Structure 1
Amino acid sequence: MALVAGAMSSLVPKLWEIIKDEYGLQKGVRKEARSLAQELESAHAALRKVAEVPPDLLDEQVRVWARELREASYDMEDVLDAFLVRVDGGGGGEGDQEKEKGSFVRRLREKMASLLSKSKARRGIAGAIDDIKKQLREVAERRGRYTVGDIAVVKPASAPPIDPRLAALYNDAAKLVGIEDAMDELEVCDSIGSGVENNPDMNDMRKIAEDFIQHEKHGDNLFEIGERYFNELINRSMMEPALLDEEGMPQACRVHDIVLDLICSLSREENFVTIPDQVEQSTSWGISVKAHRLSLQKPTNTSTCSQVTTASMSQVRSFTVFSPAIKLPSLSCFQVLRVLDLEDFDLSEDGSLKLRHLGSLLHLRYLGLRGTSYSGELPAEIGQLQFLQTLDIQGTDIQELPSSTAKLTQLKCLCFDYNHRTRLRCSWLKQLTSLEELTTVRVDKDSAAELVEALVHLTHLRVLSIKIAAGHGELDETLSRALAESLGNLHEIRRLEITDFAGADLMKSPPPKLRKLAVSVVQMRSGGRAFSSLPPWLSPSSLPLLSSLHIAASRV
């Protein structure tokens, strides 16, 4: 749907959000915003109808209209997001303790400046609404007033899945049954690259960051919706599992060459994703194409990097780098960036310089630094990224997260390496109440009590991995019992991995939704407790959803 509707599906809910009284809009402005929201809902309904029509049956004039409206929707959402950033976000980048060190006069001045800025933003939204309505009028004048009732909607008949081995027999990939229907879920072309996708969970997080995955009904979990999309693609033979874990769940997948070609073709045609080295050389890429999602792959010519200009970065929402040979543009070029995926890009040298403007990316939802070997410190200004949902620093040499990380109250996913030396201060972990995935926390006897307290507040956790210190840092029975009880109270947890923990038998009752449990126990010769039999709660009646169990015990 996003291929046709652009940002419309997320734009309308955001517009209704700012109409709420909490944003302090004047009555007249709220009335205009309400009228605009209703207008956009009509436009979105028309685009959904267009999306149901096979491309070869779609009227060319309607195709042009839909493309113009889709492009306009991105600009509209950027305007609303800028308003939300100025009103809701932009908190200080330094920790609370640092703020307290400032003088009363300085803190008062900062408070007044913040109030004035928000007041200015509220006044500015009125003009922004007028600009959006003007854009809609201009598009409508070129193609009626959202009248697409004369379009015949031809829905493909249901048919059994096609054997993927037959795909090569088709000259036209669009003839494959299910291709068009599955495009709603196949919005991963900017992250597939070579046709192989790793770590489906992080793909899901990228989709959530760009609003490709949205709540279908109240109470839905976005991760589970994304998992359902992913499984549907596999069941339709649109993707093939390439690596399975012990549960038989795919950890990587491949996309068939024909499907990949179709995705890339549609993406270029609809300006869904821009790959500079695939653009015609005769095209002035940096000026004539408004790139929303930019994917930098290994350049095929020396002019590719020079095409990436400041002008072309201003509208980019998603920036992905596949090859470490590409020069990274300054982050100050980006104005509305939501996804920054630098996985495997070499940041071992001058990494701090390359990430210097990270704190200015106020729209950022996803920050992927996995495998970059970054060894510097994350800038304290990271606390200004009030909309950040994912922070992945696996495969880096970051020693400690800045205390301002505690301000990232919308953070859903925080990932470290299993044997990583990054220090995570459990004292402020409890402030990240939106967390759903936390891996891997290293805990010793000095930080265990703080982790126990934090887990009381992290009620949305679905995935948790903990590494317990051995030797002098191992937990005594009191701390082990407290940790075991707090783990049992994580009612939404699906996957729990805990290493070097000898207190599993102290848990009174396990998390009811647990699907995967991995516990390893190391008993030191110098002492420490260990259990010699399976805990009584480890039974089918207590864990009806458990599909994977791994228990390892050793004595050293």
Structure 2
Amino acid sequence: MAQAVIGAMGTLLPKLADLITNEYNLQRGVRGEIMFLKAEMESMETALLRISEAPIDQPPDIQVKLWAKQVRDLSYDLEDSIDKFMVRIETHGRPEKSHSFRNFIDKSLSLLTKGKIRHKIGLDIKDIKSRIKEVSERRDRYKVDSVAAAKPVGPAIDTLRLSALYKKATELVGIDENSLEVVEMLTEGDMVSQKQLKVVSIVGFGGLGKTTLANAVYEKLKVQTDIQKQKLQFDCAAFVSVSLDPNMKQIFKSLLHQLDKLTYQSINEASWGEEQLIREIRTFLGDKRYLIVIDDIWDKSVWENIKYALIENEYGSRVITTTRVLDVAQQAGRIYRLKPLCVVDSRKLFYQRIYDMENKSPPNQLVEVSERILKRCGGVPLAILAIGSLLSSEKGRAHTHEYWSKVYKSISSGLDNNHDDVKNMRRILSVSYSGLPPHLKTCLLHLSLYPEDYEIEAEQLIWKWVGEGFVKKERGRSLYEVGEDYLKELVNINLLQPVLFYDVDRNSRCHVHDMVRDFIISLSHEENFLTAPDCQQLEYLPSKIRRLSLQTMNEQVGNQLATVSLSHVRSLSVFTPAFSLLPALLGFPVLRVLDLADCEVDNTHWNDICNLFHLRYLNLRGTSITKIPKEIGNLKFLQVLDIRSTKIEEELPSTFAQLTQLLLVHMLNSITYAVPRWMCSMSYLFFLSITLKTLEVEDLQFLGSIVSLTELEIEVQKPTQDRVNRLATGSAYPFLCLKMFSVKSDTMELRFGRGAMQSLQTLKLDFQNVQDTVLQFGDFALGLENLSSLKDVHVTFEKDDSVLISCAENEMEKEIDMNRNKPILKLAPLGNYHNAHGFKEELFLACASPPRPL
């Protein structure tokens, strides 16, 4: 199994670089030590990357794995030391400029304290340096950089793919219907289209049976005859596999050999280059009707290369491709999304594998546990066959409830790596994993923190990645936008599956297939990446817990956690209300991510929370807190705060302005404001959702002055009754970076004047009461023509008034027609909005024209 992650290297190395600068005024000797650490850690990062890229079937030597683990632990500990230093420096911050005697004393004490802090970081770094020297010596001792990989364990991936081509007929359950659908896609159309080259791409994640299906279609079409001419429909046929790291010359030679074995019987001995091989294939296929399967394509550039060889003649040729990557499928041709087996076919395949005969069912006492196992397999043939093999291999005890339950628990926890079939199943998934860059491997492993069948909010997930430091900075782009790309890539390669997900937006949801979850839990255990204890696994708790996910909580789990050190935990996510059984939060001193949504949290917990100085992400949504204390200003590094659906009754304290690193604040449905004047100073704020009592000129001024604000959601509780003219927002309220603006209000009180919101691309309007809007303002003139960058306008009407809705639609269409950017108007029919600030995207997916209201 390839090594998973590179520890804290991604965030550690930039921090080491910062420490060397003059800003922290470290002693010259300490700066020299840090330069040494930085050089050593960069060298070790290179070695870790090389280890992580080891071939799937040639895992690193055990000594190399141990060395890699020590380096990762070192990187975590060193980053913790540096962060503690930075927190202390920030906590004893810079005194205000003043000439008072008291201020002179404060400044002197602060400098003295900072001197002690710098001395302490010097001692910590010397300790880390000695550990690094030990690890470096071990690296030389075991020749980590040149150590020979272990011998392959189990069959190679190509062998597994070969077995998919020659499945026994009894194992091809559910294939008939799928193959008929693919054949229909390849053969449908009129006489003109029948003569054109058609390409169908079968797409799905590993183990779903893409190769098996492609081969079934291939064999079916290859032997079909033309009824009128009594000859094979295709002049020639070939089936080639590409794989993750393809040898293109060998692929083209294999194509030629299969297309004409007699002419190209010695092709493997030829020294032809890639270009010459492509020309030869094109010449050969020029006057022939061909059938070709290109199996397991991973990269768009590889498909482009192969496509050059597949000449588009007028003989009705057909090409089938298989891939795990959605982008490749979209580029290749028409898409056939391979779905998991239905429940009936899953059972049939499962019992056939166990009992080696058809129509055999388990005894009554095993029915319930077998259904749980099948649910875990999720209709994936490879998983069903692997677990079926595991159950059938132990003949003496294979039919006992105790054994089947043990198998279920072991695969649910990702711990069972001993059986060959389970290894092979994970080996198939690991091909997708091994091709990922290190930051995406880390993001994928992070998904193991979510419980089974959990619907993951895209926004929450991305901000957690940001808080953990997984998202790399890119010039000209926000961290959230970069994180969105990470999420899209995991969806693109079918390791993460959409629930409500047609494009990554704040309302998107996704989930992890059970088999993928089992795979990443297995890796998490191996790498000590994340710990998710339950009653069955308490004995597996590691000595150093870095990330903790509490998916079940009872006294047994609580008592066990009380016996282990939690001082290294960086991330804590609690998915159970029984928060009171958890050890005190003060026992988590380096916590960066804290998710307590819907937990039993109230104001008594604020003292602990406000002393978690390292916090980047804090989610208290749906808790019972009623206020935010002034001590919140202690959280200098906080980037994300979610206090939606709480019981907060008081306004934010002025110390909130000290949270200068904030990127996102969710306050909808918690408290009605402001916009307080100090909010203008939050220079990094990327996203804000806020509930306003009323909308006033001052609100627009303060919000428009937040220089980095990119997305803004506001909900106006009560309209200003005496207002007869709409508030006009124009160049006076800059909103320099705003790209998405969402407004929910009884009456739409805003009008966009010339020069307004010049970066705005998406506008979401939620009309609570159309009639009141007309009564107050007499029209729907919103000035949409003045939004020069506008691309999309999403509108929801929450009350049924077909006449007024039609009038509103007509006026907005007129304004949009005048907009030189020609934005698209999308109206959600009544009752079909997803929530107050998002829309069910399926309403708008693939619509030639925007849907009309009912």
TM-score per shorter chain, which class?
0.7 to 0.9
Provide the rounded CA distance (Å) in 2 between the counterparts of 1:46 and 1:279.
36
Count of matched residue positions in the alignment of Structure 1 and Structure 2: 532
Provide the rounded CA distance (Å) in 2 between the counterparts of 1:247 and 1:141.
46
- In the TM superposition, residue 431 of structure 1 has moved relative to its aligned partner by 1.6
Provide the rounded CA distance (Å) in 1 between the counterparts of 2:716 and 2:616.
30
Q: Output aligned runs, 1:240-279, within 5 Å.
A: 240-244=497-501, 251-277=508-534
Residue identity matched to 2:750: G
Structure 2 counterpart of 1:504 = 751
Unaligned runs of 5+ in 1: none
Selected match of 2:702 from 446, 450, 453? 453
Deviates more, 1:156-165 or 1:43-52: 156-165
Deviates more, 1:406-415 or 1:426-435: 426-435
On the 8 A contact 2:535/2:556 being kept in 1, the answer is no
Larger radius of gyration: 2
Residue identity matched to 2:114: K
Residue identity matched to 1:493: L
1:132 to 1:513, Cα distance in 2 relative to 1, 3 A: farther
Q: Secondary structure at the residue paired with 1:387?
A: coil
Q: Secondary structure at the residue paired with 1:465?
A: strand
On the 8 A contact 1:521/1:552 being kept in 2, the answer is yes
Selected match of 2:450 from 192, 206, 216? 192
Structure 2 counterpart of 1:407 = 658
- In the TM superposition, residue 181 of structure 1 has moved relative to its aligned partner by 3.0
On the 8 A contact 2:534/2:557 being kept in 1, the answer is yes
Selected match of 2:559 from 294, 306, 318? 306
Provide the rounded CA distance (Å) in 2 between the counterparts of 1:2 and 1:369.
34
Q: Secondary structure at the residue paired with 1:355?
A: helix
Provide the rounded CA distance (Å) in 1 between the counterparts of 2:797 and 2:105.
57
Selected match of 1:294 from 531, 548, 553? 548
**TM-score, scaled relative to structure 2:** 0.57
Residue 169 (structure 1) aligned with residue 382 (structure 2)? yes
- Percent identical among aligned pairs is 32
**TM-score, scaled relative to structure 1:** 0.86
Structure 2 counterpart of 1:543 = 789
On the 8 A contact 1:463/1:493 being kept in 2, the answer is yes
Unaligned runs of 5+ in 2: 153-242, 246-296, 299-321, 325-337, 341-378, 387-424, 805-854
Q: Secondary structure at the residue paired with 1:276?
A: coil
Provide the rounded CA distance (Å) in 1 between the counterparts of 2:754 and 2:534.
56
- In the TM superposition, residue 354 of structure 1 has moved relative to its aligned partner by 2.3
Structure 2 counterpart of 1:462 = 710
- In the TM superposition, residue 410 of structure 1 has moved relative to its aligned partner by 0.2
On the 8 A contact 1:91/1:384 being kept in 2, the answer is no
Structure 1 counterpart of 2:598 = 344
On the 8 A contact 2:618/2:641 being kept in 1, the answer is yes
1:249 to 1:453, Cα distance in 2 relative to 1, 3 A: closer
Residue 232 (structure 1) aligned with residue 489 (structure 2)? yes
Q: Secondary structure at the residue paired with 2:777?
A: coil
Q: Per-residue displacement from partner, 1:291-311 (whole Å, max 9, x unpaired)? A: 010111213x64111112275
Q: Per-residue displacement from partner, 1:500-551 (whole Å, max 9, x unpaired)? A: 3322243534433513433547575897436434625268xx336x245226
Provide the rounded CA distance (Å) in 2 between the counterparts of 1:475 and 1:114.
53
Residue identity matched to 1:397: K
On the 8 A contact 1:7/1:73 being kept in 2, the answer is yes
Q: Per-residue displacement from partner, 1:418-476 (whole Å, max 9, x unpaired)? A: x433434421111211100100241536x6415413422x2222210123353447767
Structure 1 counterpart of 2:189 = none
Selected match of 1:358 from 609, 612, 616? 609
On the 8 A contact 2:639/2:663 being kept in 1, the answer is yes
Structure 2 counterpart of 1:369 = 620
Provide the rounded CA distance (Å) in 1 between the counterparts of 2:784 and 2:620.
41
On the 8 A contact 2:459/2:507 being kept in 1, the answer is no
Residue identity matched to 1:461: L
Q: Output aligned runs, 1:520-539, within 5 Å.
A: 520=767, 524=772, 528-529=776-777, 531-533=779-781, 535-537=783-785
Q: Secondary structure at the residue paired with 2:689?
A: strand
On the 8 A contact 1:393/1:415 being kept in 2, the answer is yes
Residue identity matched to 1:378: I
Provide the rounded CA distance (Å) in 1 between the counterparts of 2:483 and 2:426.
25
Q: Secondary structure at the residue paired with 2:486?
A: helix
Provide the rounded CA distance (Å) in 1 between the counterparts of 2:66 and 2:643.
42
Residue identity matched to 1:148: D
1:538 to 1:450, Cα distance in 2 relative to 1, 3 A: closer
1:331 to 1:111, Cα distance in 2 relative to 1, 3 A: farther
On the 8 A contact 1:4/1:67 being kept in 2, the answer is no
Q: Output aligned runs, 1:125-164, within 5 Å.
A: 125-144=121-140, 147-150=144-147, 156-157=244-245, 158-159=297-298, 160-162=322-324, 163=338
- In the TM superposition, residue 229 of structure 1 has moved relative to its aligned partner by 1.1
Deviates more, 1:467-476 or 1:408-417: 467-476
Structure 2 counterpart of 1:205 = 463
Which gives a bigger RCO, structure 1 or 2 (Cα 8 Å, sep 6+)? 1
On the 8 A contact 1:233/1:239 being kept in 2, the answer is yes
Provide the rounded CA distance (Å) in 2 between the counterparts of 1:328 and 1:199.
25
1:90 to 1:468, Cα distance in 2 relative to 1, 3 A: farther
Structure 1 counterpart of 2:118 = 122
Q: Output aligned runs, 1:27-176, within 5 Å.
A: 27-54=28-55, 56-57=57-58, 58-89=60-91, 109-144=105-140, 147-150=144-147, 156-157=244-245, 158-159=297-298, 160-162=322-324, 163=338, 165=340, 167-170=380-383, 171=386, 172-176=425-429
Structure 2 counterpart of 1:6 = 7
1:262 to 1:106, Cα distance in 2 relative to 1, 3 A: farther
- In the TM superposition, residue 276 of structure 1 has moved relative to its aligned partner by 2.0
Provide the rounded CA distance (Å) in 1 between the counterparts of 2:20 and 2:722.
53
Provide the rounded CA distance (Å) in 2 between the counterparts of 1:498 and 1:486.
20
1:211 to 1:330, Cα distance in 2 relative to 1, 3 A: same
On the 8 A contact 2:738/2:757 being kept in 1, the answer is no
Provide the rounded CA distance (Å) in 1 between the counterparts of 2:41 and 2:722.
58
Provide the rounded CA distance (Å) in 1 between the counterparts of 2:524 and 2:449.
12
Provide the rounded CA distance (Å) in 2 between the counterparts of 1:249 and 1:296.
25
Residue 17 (structure 1) aligned with residue 56 (structure 2)? no
1:548 to 1:361, Cα distance in 2 relative to 1, 3 A: same
Provide the rounded CA distance (Å) in 2 between the counterparts of 1:223 and 1:238.
20
Provide the rounded CA distance (Å) in 1 between the counterparts of 2:737 and 2:718.
28
Residue identity matched to 1:256: H
Residue 391 (structure 1) aligned with residue 641 (structure 2)? yes
Provide the rounded CA distance (Å) in 1 between the counterparts of 2:766 and 2:773.
20
On the 8 A contact 2:445/2:524 being kept in 1, the answer is no
On the 8 A contact 2:67/2:139 being kept in 1, the answer is yes
